[in-house]
Each structure stands twice: as structure tokens, then as C-alpha cells.
Amino acid sequence: MRNVIAVLIVASVTPASPTWAQGRFSWAPSVSIAEVADSNVFSTPSSGESDFVTRTSPGVQAGYQSVPLQLVGRYTCDAERYRDHPQLNDTFARQQAGLDLRATVRRTTLTTAASYVTTHTPQELNALTGLTVQRAPAMQYSVAPSLNYQFNALTRGSVAFQLARSTFGETASTATGAPSIVTREFTVGVDRHLAATDVARARYRERSFDFGGAPALSSGATSRALLLGWTHDVSRLTQTTVTVGPRLSDGSVRPEVAVDVRRRLQSGDVALSFARTEGVALGEAGAIEVKRLTGSLTARPARRLELRAGPGVSRDEAPLSGLKATVYLLDVAATSPLTRWLSLQASYQRAWERSETPLYGALAFEHAVFIVRAVAAAPTASTGSGHARAAAPPALIRYGAAAGR
């Protein structure tokens, strides 16, 4: 992984400019302390074992920005101490590292996003499907470079590639489970502004999955999709995005659909999204057909209070194992900044899964986690010339994601 990231960085820095000497370095340490109430620490069916966990999470973010280059790196780790299950205590229960890079030379922009995660709760890595996986060591890394070229003021072309690998311990595998999954995705597309309120896009996407430890899938699985999209500003406050097209997978044609509606409120925003796509999940060998509906609501009733709610439901079907699962998700949170560097957060996540397979029959999973957290983040410190502002990681992430739509 280190070699891959190094190559991407070198490729981005090659077209250097003398103005980089005017860049600015920035860094910001942080630490959070949380009390966690977990209703199912082993993620087992039916009634699981609950526990209270004390979690300490130090972290740091560092960045560099000049006129053509933005580079941001970050690292956090979670040290966990369990009240009733001391055998689960771990100084590095979870580690997360990331690197975002953006370099612009005239009409060409190169972005690269790399991430690395280790955890003892593999379900965190099944973000698309929401499927439950029993507790076991798990790891995931991904690298996603993309290249954008601005042909003119109205038209932009893009090429993107993503490589991701996920693995988890044997204790979490099942008779049909895949201990490791490698995903490769290549996308090429073009965006065209039709009007001030309309953007049309076309994409060709090729995606392949390789499943380690699953002899029945030694050749993996590949899908190809031709997608057409349209973004329309219904009003100054409301935007809709629709992407549809055929997806060819295993000799059959299925629809690929993504619909997103967003509206800004006077003190918040609301969004509703639907997607029908193909994905993978740790604990399942073979591609999974996913139908997912999610909503989100953010409100700021006071200057120092932000409330967020995000319900969702997912229908997952895996042809290889015969899995048919329905997952219901609920995520609510509140954040209150007390000072410039200190904030309090409270969140509640709950998941219900009802699944059935020919091998195991009907299974039911429930998992609820309540967290109260205090976060201390030092103001960003910077050195170097004042000609460049500190890098902004969210903007880099949004830009990189847009290239592959």
C-alpha cells in the first residue's frame, strides 16, 4: 500500500511549479473521550451480550497547500476498555488513516484519496449493505486516483480508478463467507452544463470483485454499466440528481439507479436518496444486489446546537448463498460546541437485520450503540507563506467523489 501511495504522490508532484515555494504547512492535534453503551458487543443473532466501553481517541491532521497543490493527511486510533469483557481491551481497537491530494495544472486536475482502516467490528466496513458480521479483526485499504480535464467552460471529462481490499479474521467467516474481497473499479465520463440550473453526464463503469477464500468464485465477478445522469436545480434551495442505466453482470442485465433530492432549510437541510446497485460485503462471497433508501435531516435550532437524524432501509440479495436480508438503520446525533476547541457530542445508532439463507434458515440481529463524547481539537497551526490558505479535506473528498459518478 505504501508503494502505491508513493507512486501516486510522485505522479502528482511531477509537473511542479516554482510557486510551490510559497506553500503553507498546517497541523492540528485532537483527542476525544467517549463512554459507549453497546447492546451486542459480539454482533451475534438474537439477544447479544452488552457492555459499557470507555474509548479514548487521539488523532492528528496535517496538510500542505500551495497554488497548484493541496495535500492533507490524518490519523486517529481508538483505545477501548470494557467493563464486563476485559479480554476485549485493546490499545489499538480501531485505527484510521487517510491521505487526500489535489494538484491542478492549467486545465488538468489530479486527485487522489487513500485510506486505511483496522477494526474489530467488520460491520463498519459493510456501509453499503449494512449486513451484520460477527466480531473479528478486520482491515480495509483503498486508493482512488482520478483525472479531470476541463475542455471548455461547459464541458469536463474525467477518468477514475479505485482499488480496495478488505479482509477479516477466520472467526467471522461462514461456510460461504469470503475472508477477503478485492474491488477494482474503472470509470470514464463527461459532464456538460446545459444551463445555469442543469448538468448532464454520461459514464461508463467497469467493476470487478475477487473473493479470497471462496473456491466457488476463483474467477471473481465483473459488471459493466453505461450510465446517464442529470442534475437539476429545481429552485435556489432544492436540487435533484438522477442517474440511470443498464448494468451487465453474469450474463444478465439489471437496472442501475441512483436518485438524490436535497433541500436547504432556513436552519438546516434535508435529503432523500434511493439507490439500486451491486456491491459486496464481508461475510458474503459473491456480488450482492442492493436496494437502499436513506434519508437525512440536519437542524440547527440554536447557535451552539446541531441535531441530525438519518433513517434508512436496505434490501440485500446474494444469489450465490441464497441470502435475502432486510436491514433497518437509525442514526441520530447532537453536537454542541462549548468553546473554540471543545465540543460535546451524543449519538445513538440502531440496526435491525432480518435475513434468511438456505444453509442457516432465518436469523435476526439487533444492535444498538449509544455514545457520549467530549472532543478537544486544537486550532489549526500553520507555518510558511501566507499566500496559500490551509487545505480543506471535505472539499477534496467531494471533488474526488464527483469525478467517479
The domains of the chain, with CATH numbers, are 2-403 (2.40.160)
Q: Say whether pLDDT at 209 is over 80.
A: yes
Give me the mean pLDDT over the 237-252 stretch.
95
Locate cell 505522479: which residue?
11
Locate cell 451491486: which residue?
278
Grid cell digits, residue 285:
462471497
The total of other beta-carbon atoms located within 10 Å of residue 206's CB is 14
pLDDT the model gives residue 400: 32
Spatial distance between the Cα atoms of 132 and 46, rounded to a whole number of angstroms: 12
Give me the mean pLDDT over the 213-218 stretch.
55
pLDDT the model gives residue 176: 45
Grid cell digits, residue 404:
467517479
Grid cell digits, residue 70:
493541496
Q: Say whether pLDDT at 22 is over 50.
A: yes
Spatial distance between the Cα atoms of 244 and 256, rounded to a whole number of angstroms: 6
Spatial distance between the Cα atoms of 225 and 187, rounded to a whole number of angstroms: 10
* H-only helix segments in 218-322: none
More confident residue, 173 or 247: 247
pLDDT the model gives residue 214: 57
What is the β-pairing status of strands 69-82 and 381-384?
unpaired
pLDDT the model gives residue 285: 79
Q: What is the mean pLDDT of the chain?
A: 87
Question: Per-residue pLDDT tens for 230-243?
Answer: 999 999 999 999 99
Question: Per-residue pLDDT tens for 1-11?
Answer: 444 334 333 44
pLDDT band for position 160 (cuts 50, 70, 90): very high
pLDDT the model gives residue 283: 84
Spatial distance between the Cα atoms of 314 and 276, rounded to a whole number of angstroms: 10
More confident residue, 87 or 67: 87
pLDDT band for position 219 (cuts 50, 70, 90): low
Locate cell 460546541: which residue?
337
Question: What residue ranges in 39-107 does DSSP mark as E strands?
Answer: 51-65, 69-82, 90-105
Spatial distance between the Cα atoms of 128 and 116, rounded to a whole number of angstroms: 18
pLDDT band for position 179 (cuts 50, 70, 90): confident
Q: Say whether pLDDT at 13 is over 50.
A: no
Question: Per-residue pLDDT tens for 370-405?
Answer: 999 999 998 877 776 554 443 333 332 222 333 333
Grid cell digits, residue 255:
437496472
pTM as predicted: 0.83
Write b or e for each residue in 77-97: b if 16 or more Cβ atoms lie within 10 A of its Cβ, otherwise e. Answer: bbebebeeeeebeeeebbebb
Length reported for the chain:
405
Spatial distance between the Cα atoms of 228 and 240, rounded to a whole number of angstroms: 14
Spatial distance between the Cα atoms of 328 and 122, rounded to a whole number of angstroms: 18
pLDDT the model gives residue 381: 75
CB 35 within 8 A of CB 54: yes
More confident residue, 398 or 327: 327
Smallest CA-to-CA distance from 120 within 77, 84, 74 is with: 77
Q: What share of the chain is helix, strand, coil (3-state, %, to 5)?
A: 10, 65, 25
pLDDT the model gives residue 47: 73
Spatial distance between the Cα atoms of 182 and 167, rounded to a whole number of angstroms: 9
Spatial distance between the Cα atoms of 379 and 167, rounded to a whole number of angstroms: 36
Smallest CA-to-CA distance from 389 within 60, 61, 67, 110 is with: 67
**Three-class SS of residue 358?**
coil
pLDDT the model gives residue 213: 66
Question: Per-residue pLDDT tens for 113-129?
Answer: 999 999 999 999 999 99
Q: Say whether pLDDT at 26 is over 70.
A: yes
